[in-house]
Amino acid sequence: MPAVTSFSGDDLVVVTGGAGFIGSNIAVELARTGGRVVVCDRFRSGEKWRNVAAAGLHDIIRPDGLLDWLERHSAKVAAIVHMGAISSTTEKNVDRFIAGNIRLTLDLWAWCALNAVTLVYASSAATYGDGSAGFSDEKSPAGLAALRPLNAYGWSKHLVDRRVVDDATRGHATPRQWAGLKFFNVYGPNETHKGFMQSLVTKLYPVVQAGETVALFKSYDPSWPDGGQLRDFIYVKDCVAVVCWLLEHPEISGLFNVGTGTARSFVDLVGAVGAAVGNVPNVRFIDMPDELRAQYQYFTCADITKLRRCGYDGEFYSLEDGVQDYLGQLS
């Protein structure tokens, strides 16, 4: 992947959540290609530091000191890639979403607008709810208002999307470039610290490798067979490629779906993991927890028409190739 050349040698790029899953992959790639990268994250006592251990970072800052740090370095910050978030779809404390997903993102939006700095932030396919309103990112304020997220996580991302589109539509101050990225089902390196929120690829890998039986949720919708629920699974390397492309094209702003544009079943996913490790998995179907049934998406698929129209021509990994590439690194 080529270096991002739209920044000068002294420019700083801040990656929030930069030791987390998607954020660390972005930070490592930007640093690898010569960027001066500043990671903002909490490391605590786990192994998250390993996600960025190989990167030559310019600085590391704590989230509670981010805004003060930005004020001190405002002349050198060229872009903020905001991947930090509360990402648990089962989190019950909505105040955590308000503080971590809404308030911080809008504070960064205001700061970037005031200082003419690029802001790329993580939204989510969870904003589309059950998909009944479609998966198009070609949304006006009225179109966004028709979406109904199924959980507080999706709502927190959706509220920010609505706010920034409203600002842009009304001609209010915006960052010099801005992009809200509606990530679909991302998998890949550096996600083991996420626990229950790891991708299914990562969860299934040790099970399939050991020859044990894979458990998938039953379907509670007669339109979908057990294991036939569909998702747009996207390899994290493709997410990084989209972010780097956007940073290379400061003239492009807006909401963008980040998926492959192809929906695959959970049975397909199990088969891809099996092929990658050389086992043929056995599958059994189990009851879905009650708290998930009311907010479960049976189908997601990114409409990437807008991304393509804006000029992104990168080829996305197929499910099989992405899983093979990822799990090959773990073998």
CATH number for the segment(s) 12-186+233-260+304-309? 3.40.50.720
pLDDT of residue 280: 94
What spatial distance separates the first Cα and last Cα of the chain, rounded to whole Å? 24
Residue labelled with tokens 């702003």:
253
**What does the alpha-carbon distance between residue 83 and residue 78 come to, in Å, rounded to a whole number?**
16
pLDDT of residue 21: 98
Residue labelled with tokens 């458990």:
215
Q: What does the longest C-alpha to C-alpha distance in the chain come to? A: 58
Q: Give residue limits of the domains in the chain.
A: 12-186+233-260+304-309
Give me the count of residues in the chain.
Answer: 331
| 121, 153, 205, 326: the active-site residue | 153
Contact predicate 174/253, CB 8 Å: yes
- Does residue 194 have an active-site annotation? yes
Residue labelled with tokens 């740090």:
69
Q: How remote is the C-alpha of 288 from its chain's centroid?
A: 24
β partners of residue 310: none
**What does the alpha-carbon distance between residue 18 and residue 133 come to, in Å, rounded to a whole number?**
33
Q: What is the DSSP letter of 222?
A: T
**What does the alpha-carbon distance between residue 83 and residue 86 come to, in Å, rounded to a whole number?**
10
Q: What is the pLDDT tens value at each position of the chain, 331 positions in all?
A: 666 777 888 999 999 999 999 999 999 999 999 999 999 999 998 899 999 999 999 999 999 999 999 999 999 999 999 999 999 888 989 999 999 999 999 999 999 999 999 999 999 999 999 999 999 999 899 999 999 999 999 999 999 999 999 999 999 999 999 999 999 999 999 999 999 899 999 999 999 999 999 999 999 999 999 999 999 999 999 999 999 999 999 999 999 999 999 999 999 999 999 999 999 999 999 999 988 888 889 999 999 999 999 999 999 999 999 999 999 998 7
pTM over 0.85: yes
Contact predicate 1/101, CB 8 Å: no
Strand, coil or helix: what is 187? strand
Residue labelled with tokens 């205001």:
110
pLDDT of residue 8: 80
- Does residue 128 have an active-site annotation? no
pLDDT of residue 90: 82
Strand, coil or helix: what is 182? strand
pLDDT of residue 134: 96
Q: What is the sign of the dihedral through the CA atoms of 78, 15, 33 and 31? A: positive
SS (H, E, C) 102-143: HHHHHHHHHHHHHHCCEEEEEEEHHHHCCCCCCCCCCCCHHH
